[in-house]
A and B are shown apart, each in its own frame.
Chain A
Amino acid sequence: MANNEEKGYLSLVLHAHLPFIRHPEYEDFLEEDWFFEAMCETYIPLLDIYERLTAEGTDFRVTMSITPPLCNMMADDLLRERFRRYYSLRLELAEKEVVRTRNTGFYEVAKMYETKFRRIRELYEDYYHGRILDGFKKFQDMGKLEIITCGATHGFLPLELRKEAVHAQIKLAADNYRKHFGRGPRGIWLAECAYNPGDDVFLRAQGIRYFFLETHGIIYGSPRPRYGVYAPVYCPSGVAAFGRDMESAQQVWSAETGYPGDNRYREFYRDLGYDLEYDYIKPYLHQDGVRRNIGMKYCKITGKVGLNEKAPYNPHDARELAASHAGNFMFNRERQIEHLNGFLGKKPIVVSMYDAELYGHWWYEGTDFLEFLFKKIHHDQKTVKMVTPSEYLAMHPDNQVVQPSMSTWGDKGYNEVWLNGTNDWMYRHLHKQVERMVELANKFPAADGTLRRALNQCAREVVLGMSSDWAFLMTVGTAKSYSTKRFVAHTHRFNGLYEQIMGNRLEEAWLKDLEWRDNIFPEMDYRVFSTEEMEKAAKS
């Protein structure tokens, strides 16, 4: 009886991604912290929630991309070892802090970090034995989590000239997904939601049934979509496109009215890395001893005050607040879905899409919010049913055929974030590399030995250069020199290998060095770039 009472569906989609950052050539590397921070603040806390909900019998549905670079980093031995070092140091500091802050206003929050890092250690070591992809796979196999893939290196497809590059990004991703999760991906998150009409044929070729679009990708589609973004459409290829609901997006992330700005939540910009006495904190800084954020923060946003007037953070207050925000979010979805149901005359699907790292990393209590949201939706109401896109398509296989519009989820809705004065110089080089890679793949249909290794390494360097992250970081100005350096390095490495291959003078020592540095996709087969493979896929 209860099963058929819902008035519509909510699909929560979290996009988890970081660029492939791994530097074996340095003992200690700043930007690797992005991954470790996201592990501690988002990825492992999400698994913690899934574990708890499952243990207490709360059913939930969530769709989550784990991009191939992230899969590669999570499975990498070196990064796993370095992550152990990272959380062990944090735990050591947290334990010291519990002693130091006794009888002060910071004791509760110090205690919180100790508990948190202990739990991270427990989950990482005892539950998953350092293989957290197995943790995600477990919940996928239970049918609660749907893991989707993404372009091989989060490549920005609308700015590629050659379809071989589009095909390679999708095919490599699908193969990598199979390796980690034991079956093919049903859905994909196109990097930056960047869609170029027609590229969906390459999704179909890999058995991918759906992808996601920013609102106007659907709304500006042709012919006009009957149900707006509240039902998926089929591209002419038969691949389904789900559109983003802006109401639920704004509710969480609006700078003015969004939840994370509440004064009782944790202040992001006040960090122990700056607050504590230098000699005491130094062992937890990087080797250069420069004060930086270390991810442990003791203050709440407090209000419109300076950083040194921030009040102590109270974990219990913040958690209660997250619960009430989750209740508010659910209430709004209920009303939205009731309203849409009446207006459309059918059950709408509301697709709420977010960067996963927003939950926990940027909005510290965001993971608590999600946990409360799952619980409340399961226990407290019957209007909204959570589904994955696959479940929706199984229930509602008939949908309108619409050609969606070119679009992205970036500023202004198109390609400008990834194509502007700060980064447009990249494309000449990137396109040349792809052209040369295709030339190599076509020229050597069956290479073996050292040549084969060199060709595979060429393909790795090309795909690493294709990451949309480099162009993005140049635009926002964060880590601009790092992203520039990375792009230049991969270009240089590719061009060097290309010239050596064409000149028949491969330097094996150099090749070996590159294989050691840029080891993404150990299973790489360079032939993924051949024109023949691309054409086969396009026709499939």
Chain B
Amino acid sequence: MTSSGQIKKNNTAPEAEHRALPEGYGTTEAALLPRDPNWMFIYWEITDTSKTNTCKEHGEDVFQKGRQVIRVYDMTEVDGSGPNRYFDIPVMLEAKSWYVNVVESGRAYCCEVGLVMPDGKFIGLVKTNTVNLPGGRVSDVTDEKWMSVSADFDKLLQLSGVEYIGKGSGEVAKSLAQRWEMLRAVFSRASSWGVSSMSSQNLPKQPEQQKKFWLVADCELILYGATEPDAFVTVSGRKVNLNPDGTFSMRFALPDGVVDLPVKAMSKDETDSREIDIKVTRATTTDGK
């Protein structure tokens, strides 16, 4: 996959769709997702109504007095009497998401975002689902029927190539990237791979092969900015896709000469616009050695 953007023939009208995602959904809720044997991801939304209700119930100043935490419960082997172990991670409620590290893999966890009061009382604000983390290692459970094979199991593990874990679909991307890095190392040149070039490419001069000492250098241009997330932005007349927060950045090849980059933004309702014109001049000289 080598392409880097879309082509729009008549890039005049802002696309109605390109609005930012909702900030929230107006519901107090949280979710916990497994990342790997020792990490989970939690996100939450706590509405103002929920906060007001908490204040009503526990006192107007609970949010000032209480420490904001994620309480992580170990839900493994709970016999209906509630979780038996937990620990707290200090957090800001505004963070809205967090990565949670647990020492013990292979267990079930659930989180609750809440407040720890000075007297030690915990006020829960929102609770997540329960996640079962993988063990990340060979099981201790051996079928009675197959107990006799345990001595050979290490060898079987080796044969199975367990040391290669994680060499999956990314492996090709990685190996191609390595080759690309290698090419760049001996020969600096941007291609369409990850670089959207507006200018046709001129290959820089090669180092002379017979000499041991050599130097190659090149540079590229990164243009960045930000506007309202729903604005319509063009650079040199081409539409730019904004990130959900309204920021944008583009990377260009930078040949010798003058590059003109007019940046235009138009508000969603097309009543307001701003323009910034950037001119970049590049002049490369070498000592000719």
- Total number of residue pairs linking A and B with CB closer than 8 Å: 271
- Partner-binding segment picked from A47-55, A56-64, A317-325, A408-416: A408-416
Query: How far is A337 from B90 in the complex, measured between Cα atoms in Å?
Result: 54
Q: Which B residues lie within 8 Å of A30 (CB)?
A: 3-7
Is B35's CB under 8 angstroms from A416's CB?
A: yes
Q: How far is the CB of B11 from chain A (nearest CB, A)?
A: 10
Chain B residues with a Cβ closer than 8 Å to the other chain, count: 87
Q: For the side of the interface on A, what is the size category?
A: 35 or more
Is B35's CB under 8 angstroms from A413's CB?
A: no
Query: How far is A425 from B22 in the complex, measured between Cα atoms in Å?
Result: 11
B120 at the interface (CB under 8 A from A): no
Q: Which B residues lie within 8 Å of A165 (CB)?
A: none
Query: How far is A13 from B175 in the complex, measured between Cα atoms in Å?
Result: 21
Residue of B nearest to A408 (CB): B168
Is A161's CB under 8 angstroms from B197's CB?
A: no
- Partner-binding segment picked from A96-104, A202-210, A491-499: A491-499
Query: How far is A228 from B153 in the complex, measured between Cα atoms in Å?
Result: 8
A383 at the interface (CB under 8 A from B): no
Q: How far is the CB of B145 from chain A (nearest CB, A)?
A: 8
Residue of B nearest to A34 (CB): B1
Query: How far is A306 from B9 in the complex, measured between Cα atoms in Å?
Result: 36
Is B9's CB under 8 angstroms from A478's CB?
A: no
With A306-B206, A481-B5, A485-B241 known as contacts, the answer to whether A249 contacts B164 (CB < 8 A) is yes
Q: How far is the CB of B243 from chain A (nearest CB, A)?
A: 7
Is A428's CB under 8 angstroms from B43's CB?
A: yes
Is B166's CB under 8 angstroms from A292's CB?
A: no
Q: How far is the CB of A436 from chain B (nearest CB, A)?
A: 9
Question: Which residues A361-407 have CB closer than 8 A to chain B?
Answer: 362, 400, 405-407
Query: How far is A378 from B215 in the complex, measured between Cα atoms in Å?
Result: 53
- Partner-binding segment picked from A115-123, A167-175, A283-291: A283-291
Query: How far is A324 from B20 in the complex, measured between Cα atoms in Å?
Result: 54
Q: How far is the CB of B184 from chain A (nearest CB, A)?
A: 10
Question: Which residues A326-361 have CB closer than 8 A to chain B?
Answer: 339-340, 343, 355, 358
A444 at the interface (CB under 8 A from B): no
Q: Which B residues lie within 8 Å of A492 (CB)?
A: 17, 19, 21
Is B138's CB under 8 angstroms from A343's CB?
A: no
- Partner-binding segment picked from B65-73, B188-196, B271-279: B188-196
Is B5's CB under 8 angstroms from A482's CB?
A: yes
Q: Which B residues lie within 8 Å of A472 (CB)?
A: 169
Which applies to chain B's interface (DSSP): helix, strand, loop or mixed?
Answer: loop
Q: Which A residues lie within 8 Å of B132 (CB)?
A: 197, 406
Is B137's CB under 8 angstroms from A477's CB?
A: no
B244 at the interface (CB under 8 A from A): yes
- Partner-binding segment picked from B55-63, B76-84, B154-162, B259-267: B154-162
Q: How far is the CB of A154 from chain B (nearest CB, A)?
A: 11
- Partner-binding segment picked from A70-78, A178-186, A214-222, A525-533: A214-222
Residue of A nearest to B96 (CB): A428
Chain A, residues 450-494, CB within 8 Å of chain B (1/0): the string is: 000000000000000000000011001111011011001101110
Residue of A nearest to B192 (CB): A292
Is A274's CB under 8 angstroms from B186's CB?
A: no
Is A488's CB under 8 angstroms from B165's CB?
A: no
Is B179's CB under 8 angstroms from A261's CB?
A: yes
With A269-B191, A484-B244 known as contacts, the answer to whether A489 contacts B17 (CB < 8 A) is yes
With A33-B3, A291-B200 known as contacts, the answer to whether A304 contacts B35 (CB < 8 A) is no
B37 at the interface (CB under 8 A from A): yes
Is B138's CB under 8 angstroms from A307's CB?
A: no
Q: Which B residues lie within 8 Å of A343 (CB)?
A: 152, 155-156, 159
Is B186's CB under 8 angstroms from A305's CB?
A: yes
Is A424's CB under 8 angstroms from B159's CB?
A: no
Is A222's CB under 8 angstroms from B141's CB?
A: yes
Q: How far is the CB of A198 from chain B (nearest CB, A)?
A: 9
B187 at the interface (CB under 8 A from A): yes
Q: Which A residues lie within 8 Å of B206 (CB)?
A: 306, 308-309
Query: How far is A429 from B43 in the complex, measured between Cα atoms in Å?
Result: 11
B223 at the interface (CB under 8 A from A): no
A126 at the interface (CB under 8 A from B): no
Is B9's CB under 8 angstroms from A268's CB?
A: no
B51 at the interface (CB under 8 A from A): no
Q: Which A residues lie within 8 Å of B7 (CB)?
A: 26, 28-30, 286-288
Q: How far is the CB of A161 from chain B (nearest CB, A)?
A: 6
Is A293's CB under 8 angstroms from B192's CB?
A: yes
A500 at the interface (CB under 8 A from B): no
Query: How far is A307 from B182 in the complex, measured between Cα atoms in Å?
Result: 11
The 8 Å CB contact of A427, one of B43, B136, B141, B153, is B43
The 8 Å CB contact of A220, one of B136, B164, B182, is B136
- Partner-binding segment picked from A79-87, A138-146, A234-242, A250-258: A250-258
Q: How far is the CB of A264 from chain B (nearest CB, A)?
A: 15
Is B31's CB under 8 angstroms from A308's CB?
A: no
Query: How far is A26 from B162 in the complex, measured between Cα atoms in Å?
Result: 47
Extra inter-chain contacts (19) besides given A219-B138, A224-B149, A229-B160, CB under 8 Å: A31-B3, A159-B33, A192-B168, A215-B161, A226-B149, A246-B160, A246-B167, A261-B179, A269-B183, A269-B193, A271-B191, A288-B7, A291-B197, A306-B206, A415-B36, A476-B170, A476-B173, A478-B193, A488-B20
- Some 16 contacts from A to B, beta carbons below 8 A apart, are A26-B6, A30-B5, A31-B1, A219-B160, A224-B139, A227-B156, A246-B161, A254-B175, A306-B187, A307-B183, A400-B146, A409-B169, A411-B170, A424-B41, A482-B3, A484-B244
Q: List chain B positions with a Cβ less than 8 A from chain A.
A: 1-9, 17-22, 25, 31, 33-37, 39, 41, 43, 45, 97, 129, 132-139, 141-143, 146, 149-150, 152-153, 155-157, 159-162, 164-176, 178-180, 182-183, 186-187, 189, 191-194, 196-198, 200-201, 203, 206, 238, 241, 243-244
Q: List chain A positions with a Cβ less than 8 A from chain B.
A: 23, 26-31, 33-34, 158-159, 161, 192-193, 197, 214-216, 218-224, 226-230, 243, 245-247, 249-250, 253-255, 258, 261, 268-269, 271, 273-274, 278, 286-288, 290-293, 304-309, 339-340, 343, 355, 358, 362, 400, 405-417, 419-420, 424-425, 427-429, 431-432, 472-473, 476-479, 481-482, 484-485, 488-489, 491-493, 495
